[in-house]
Amino acid sequence: MLKKSQPTDIERYKQLVNALQELAAMLTKDLLLDYSVDAATRLSDAGSAWILFPDPRNEMLDISTGTSKDGLQLHGLSIPINCSIEGWVYSNKQPVMIIDTRYYDQSRGEFIQLPDIEIKSILIVPMISKGKQIGVLEVINKRVGEFSPLDREILAAFAHQAAICIDNSHRFIQSDLVTELVHELRTPLAALNTALYLLQRSDISNERREQISQLIHTEFNRLSELTTSFLEYARLKSGRAKFELTRFDLTQLIKESIEIIQIQLDSKGLTISLSVPAEPLYITADKDKIKQVILNLLNNAIKYNRLGGKIHFIANISPTDISFSIQDNGLGIRPEHLPLLFERFYRGPDTDRKILGTGLGLSICKQIVEAHNGKIEVSSTVGQGSTFTVQLPINQSIKAKLVE
């Protein structure tokens, strides 16, 4: 069998041009990230690749997306900036190429050790957009031969253009989100403005003043909830939300969540039943964020249920997945509205406006579940109620650690 010849330098530059053309056609950040790591492995003939973005809150670099020939999920791993080689590239805006990690003296920081992957060679380049460092692109394990100066040159050129595209996608997302937030803020702000105007009048009764004061309190809480939810959604949408993976018993988390909302259940005369397997439902995930999803779905089942209604919480397990469903016997949702439920700021036209909500809760749930490589679905029958189902893989992204 003839050995496949390696591409010439001219052919490799042509591959770079083609990759940049395809990159420019990507319209969303998710597509940009997935394409960038895939193209990086092809352009450098590497075994794996990932992109890391800084988290200024804790001086860490977070892997936003990655690919490996072994199919390992790399999203969610974190690396300290101050003592890692990736952090050195980020801080100094210079590439690093290690032809053989056995002879690396760690003078520029430690490198990642991944379970089941032996890292033999490394090439890391900065991602700079308009003079601003936004992250680093890393490839490992040259498939044939060694990483070369040409590999470094091609990967650096690709990373520079990818950085510009990703940075622009952030700006488009932020612009759209801010526009929508401003629109959503108008209603509570208008209500507050009217209430404050009425309070200045001397001819209104004390009873009316008390009602207006309560309105101000309600709208203030709505503004606070809206801005908090918006910031959470924006972090998830931009890929900058931090995920801390731990192994825990989902059944115990469900019971804790039900205890939290018990007072709300009692206030509406609702009853809740729980159906789970006898054995613990162990899962690897971000416990706080999964709890956030459960509480949001339970709160919705309470808010949109009828007085004296019922909620049924069901959890099941398969060899690869855990799923849970929250059923209510409320008014239900019309079929034409179901596809829109997970859109940001969406609230159905049949929603009682006395029920407070931001229109972001289900969008946040969807972002969290999909970040765990899971899915969330809804089914509903008008007059009978709704069922929200979440399916999550039992084992999530692997944990990384630095070589000691």
- The mean-pLDDT minimum among 60-64, 101-105, 131-135, 400-404 falls in 400-404
Of 141, 171, 201, the residue at which a domain comes to its end is 171
37 and 154 part of one domain: yes
Close Cβ partners of 63 (under 8 Å, ≥ 6 residues apart)? 50, 51, 52, 74, 75, 76, 77, 78, 79, 400
164 and 280 part of one domain: no
Yes or no: say if 135 and 192 are a contact pair by the CB < 8 Å rule.
Answer: no
Q: Is the pLDDT of residue 77 over 60?
A: yes
Count structural domains, the chain: 2
256 and 391 part of one domain: yes
Q: Does residue 363 lie within any of the structural domains?
A: yes
What's the pLDDT score for residue 264? 84
Q: Does residue 186 lie within any of the structural domains?
A: no
Q: Does residue 294 lie within any of the structural domains?
A: yes
139 and 264 part of one domain: no
Q: Is the pLDDT of residue 94 over 90?
A: yes
Residue with tokens 């032996």: 118
* 16 against 173, higher pLDDT: 16
Q: Is the pLDDT of residue 127 over 50?
A: yes
CA distance 224 to 189: 12
Q: Residue 41: how many CB atoms within 10 A of its CB?
A: 20
What's the pLDDT score for residue 226? 61
147 and 274 part of one domain: no
Q: Is the pLDDT of residue 306 over 50?
A: yes
What's the pLDDT score for residue 401? 35
CA distance 33 to 166: 8
Q: Does residue 404 lie within any of the structural domains?
A: no
**How would residue 139 be classed by pLDDT, with cut points 50, 70 and 90?**
very high
CA distance 126 to 295: 40
**How would residue 303 be classed by pLDDT, with cut points 50, 70 and 90?**
confident
Average pLDDT over every residue of 319-345: 85
Q: Does residue 74 lie within any of the structural domains?
A: yes
**Domain around 47:** 9-171
CA distance 360 to 365: 9
Using alpha carbons only, what angle is made at residue 89 by residues 84 and 95, rounded to the nearest 5 degrees?
Answer: 130
The burial of 78, by beta-carbon neighbours within 10 Å (0-12 exposed, 13-18 middle, 19 or more buried), is given as: middle
124 and 24 part of one domain: yes
**How would residue 122 be classed by pLDDT, with cut points 50, 70 and 90?**
very high
CA distance 95 to 138: 10
What's the pLDDT score for residue 55? 79
* 212 against 328, higher pLDDT: 328
**How would residue 89 be classed by pLDDT, with cut points 50, 70 and 90?**
very high
- The mean-pLDDT minimum among 142-151, 228-237, 248-257, 258-267 falls in 228-237
- Tell me the pLDDT tens digit for each residue of 342-401: 876 666 655 544 555 556 778 888 888 988 889 999 999 888 899 999 999 887 543 333
What does pTM read for this prediction?
A: 0.51
* 210 against 175, higher pLDDT: 210
- Tell me the pLDDT tens digit for each residue of 9-48: 888 888 888 888 888 777 677 788 888 989 999 999 998 8
Across all residues in the chain, what is the average pLDDT?
A: 80
Of 146, 171, 196, the residue at which a domain comes to its end is 171
From 190, 185, 188, 208, select the one nearest 198 (Cα to Cα). 208
17 and 145 part of one domain: yes
Structure tokens at 125: 């380049």
In this structure, the dihedral spanned by the alpha carbons of residues 137, 138, 139 and 140, taken in order and rounded to 10 degrees, is 180
165 and 250 part of one domain: no
Structure tokens at 319: 């060899």
Q: Does residue 338 lie within any of the structural domains?
A: yes
CA distance 316 to 97: 47
Of 143, 171, 199, the residue at which a domain comes to its end is 171
Q: Does residue 78 lie within any of the structural domains?
A: yes
Instruction: Say which CATH number the domain at 298 has.
Output: 3.30.565.10
Q: Does residue 201 lie within any of the structural domains?
A: no
What's the pLDDT score for residue 74? 58
Q: Is the pLDDT of residue 112 over 80?
A: no
Q: CA distances (Å), 393 to each of 2, 232, 350, in order?
A: 43, 23, 34
What's the pLDDT score for residue 209? 77
What's the pLDDT score for residue 358? 57
Instruction: Say which CATH number the domain at 35 has.
Output: 3.30.450.40
Highest mean pLDDT among 193-207, 236-250, 278-292: 278-292
Average pLDDT over every residue of 192-209: 74
What's the pLDDT score for residue 250? 94
| Strand arrangement, sheet containing 310-317 | 271-275, 310-317, 321-328, 385-393, 375-381
Average pLDDT over every residue of 148-177: 79
What's the pLDDT score for residue 109? 84
131 and 254 part of one domain: no
125 and 263 part of one domain: no
163 and 272 part of one domain: no
393 and 247 part of one domain: yes
* 63 against 141, higher pLDDT: 141
CA distance 9 to 324: 54
